Structure 1
Amino acid sequence: MGINDLDLNLLKAFIAVAEEKHFTKAAKSLFVEQSAISKSIKRLELELGTQLFLRTNRKVELTTKGENLYLRAKEIIQLTSDFVSYAHDTEQELSGTLKFGAESPISFLYIPNVLEKLAKEYPKLWPMMFTETTSNLANKIKNREIEFAFMFYEAERLKELEYREIKKVEFQLVISPKTSKHAKDSFIGSREINHQSAHLPTFEKLRRKNKNLFIKYSANDIMAYKELILKGLGIGLLPKEFVKEEIKDKRLKKIYPELKLSFPIYLVQHGSYPLTMEAQKLIELISASI
């Protein structure tokens, strides 16, 4: 194999696994799926004709040959980085339009603070955030209208996309103290479920406690959703962080606190197209803030 045949992404995957000593952690550091890291390592070992890692159930360790190649790989990546820096002005800032998406709760709770920081560090970058249903966001990524999106609900997984769990967020079932007896049978759902309870396991859990429960209202905007609950129109499910002040002020109260509910935030991106530097930087900042 000649140097022209060597994919630098394979070296990056190799370095990440060597440093993290764990395939999952390495994948997280490179913002890719674990399966992609595993395939990269297998391909590199095949092309080099040597075993790079000793694999155990708990961790992976470099072989003796792997340790030597790790140092060389670091040198190659550094030289490549220096080459690119030389080709471009080292003072070059991230700039241009960056289109991405976020589901409503995520866009409200996490994104504004990140964009504030981004605006100070990279004033020439223009982030454009799309807040829509996850189905629409997934299709926008598929059609390359946006680069990536953060979402709770996975919708129907599209084969063209990659999904990576970032973090699990605790949710709380809440109700307004002024909710009428009749309204306590109403559950405020998300527009994602299209009023089909089969798509909402939480609703099914509640039905076991209240067989009269039904979905009467739905909204996919977090502010409108909370307002429906505050108006006493029914039971709702929101991130704990988003209702802590209302619970403290007794404008809302917990219902069925014995139900421990948490949902993962996913980073979704196209599987066939690499992320721009601008996208990688924003993902790094958002992931750190969640």
Structure 2
Amino acid sequence: MDFNQLKSYIAVVESKSFTKAAEENFCSQSTVSSHIAKLEEELKVKLLVRTTKNINITKRGEEIYRHACDILRLQEMMLQGVAKDGKSTLYIGATSTPTTYILPELFSRYSNINPDIVFDVLKNNSMNIIQGVEDGMFDIGIVAEQRESEQLEYTYFCPDRMLLVMPRKEHYKKIWENNDLVDGIQSPMIARNTSSEGNIDIKSMYEQMGIEHYDFNVVTRVNDQESIKRMVKKGYGVAIMSCWSLSKVEREHDFYVLSFPEALSIRSFYLVRRKNIRRNPNIQLFGGFMKLEIAKMREEIING
């Protein structure tokens, strides 16, 4: 159970309409229906009876409605208490690379100009984040894919580029000096789990370079980029990693790094937000700040 489910339920009860409830909560009618269905499933009780003309609340539904109102009043009191301390919370959903390598630096920089913001971040895949933004769980999402929705708007955030990262050992030094991507890729590979996302099709990229799938030499799969980086540094194998994951110092002293052809290895990150909502001005301020600072950060990563 979450607050959005309760808000949807209260809005339906008070407006006697799923359409009006959706408009009030700035979400789709299907989202409201999903919230009600999940609430009924979790509580194991029928809350509403829908006919072609009316929406009727059950006896147990009336009781749940009163409890839901009490819960949201308590939530509002808690938020007001936080506001009295001068703090405001932004809820952000982001995929793995932005969560690990981009947001920490952005938060640090933003706190210097606005220390009264609390960030609540959840790492997930793009589709789940997009759904979370649509449902009101997140104020802002940072994703690597897009899904069309009348409720959402996307803006370009920043590029990402895949790199072949190799241990700082003599064997890999020769591959690096010869810029031999094919030989490098056929080395023992530490790969992301198949559940890890990215809108670059690695298999397709290999095939365009003339490497068939049976040439892969995967020795480990793991869904954590820092773990992968440590394994590469220990000499366990090579890995394909985001350009955001390596500092200039690491590129020059800890690893040998080769770049894939740009046309094959570039992907984009996007900011996703809901349309037509009464936005907290902090959302707009931080969104604008991110887009201004990201170019500086990328330049610093490349040039140190």
Q: TM-score range by the shorter chain?
A: 0.5 to 0.7
In the alignment, is the contact (CA less than 8 A) between 1:187 and 1:213 conserved in 2?
no
The 8 Å contact of residues 160 and 242 in structure 2, kept in 1 or not, is answered as no
What amino acid maps onto 1:167 in structure 2?
C
What is the percentage of aligned positions where both structures have the same residue?
A: 14
Length, aligned pairs only = 192
Alignment partner, residue 128 of structure 2: 136
8 A contact 1:229–1:236 mirrored in 2: no
Find the counterpart in structure 1 of residue 152 from structure 2.
161
TM-score (norm 1): 0.54
Residue matched to 1:213: 216
Superposed CA deviations along residues 24-82 of structure 1, whole A, max 9, x for unmatched, are xxxxxxxxxxxxxxxxxxxxxxxxxxxxxxxxxxxxxxxxxxxxxxxxxxxxxxxxxxx
Provide the residue aligned with 1:100 in structure 2: 92
Question: Does 1:222 find its partner at 2:225?
Answer: yes
2:156 maps to 1:174? no
CA gap of 1:271–1:218, structure 2 versus 1, over 3 A, is farther
The whole-number CA distance in structure 1 between the counterparts of 2:285 and 2:186 is 45
For the residues of structure 2 that align with 1:124 and 1:187, how far apart are their CA atoms?
41
TM-score, scaled relative to structure 2: 0.52
**Cα pair 2:193 2:221 within 8 Å, conserved:** yes
Shift of 1:274: 4.7
Tell me the amino acid that sits aligned with residue 124 of structure 1: D
Distance 2:251 2:189 in 1: 20
Contact preservation (8 Å) 2:164, 2:185: no
Which residues in structure 2 correspond to 1:99-118 (within 5 Å)? 99-118=91-110
Equivalent residues of 1:190, 1:219 under 8 A apart: yes
CA distance in 1, matches of 2:260, 2:112: 43
Q: Note the C-alpha offset of 1:213.
A: 1.8
Matched, 1:259 2:249: no
Q: CA–CA distance in 1 between the matches of 2:185 and 2:122?
A: 36
In 1, the alpha carbon distance for the partners of 2:85 and 2:161 equals 37
Q: Give CA deviations for 1:84-142 in whole Å, capped at 9, x if unaligned.
A: xxxxxxxx997422111222322333322332233343333222122222233222212
* C-alpha deviation, 1:216, in angstroms: 5.9
SS at match of 1:110: helix
Q: Report the secondary structure of 2:246's partner residue.
A: helix
Residues 110 and 213 (structure 1 numbering): CA distance in 2 closer, same or farther, change over 3 Å? same
Distance 1:118 1:182 in 2: 39
**Counterpart residue identity of residue 235, structure 1:** A
Contact map agreement 2:91 2:119 (CA 8 A) in 1: yes
Offset, 1:219: 4.4
1:286 aligns with 2:293: no
Amino acid in structure 2 at the alignment position of 1:210: I
CA distance in 2, matches of 1:288, 1:262: 21
Corresponding residue of 2:203: 203
Could you list the runs of 5+ residues in structure 2 that have no partner in the other structure?
1-83, 173-183, 295-304
Q: Which has the higher helix share?
A: 2
Q: For residues 218 and 289 of structure 1, what CA distance do their matches in structure 2 show?
A: 33
**C-alpha deviation, 1:280, in angstroms:** 0.9
Whole-Å Cα distance in 2 between the matches of residues 237 and 113 of structure 1? 19
1:148 lines up with 2:140 in the alignment: yes
**CA–CA distance in structure 1, aligned partners of residues 268 and 97 of structure 2:** 12
**Range 174-183 or range 210-219, more displaced:** 174-183
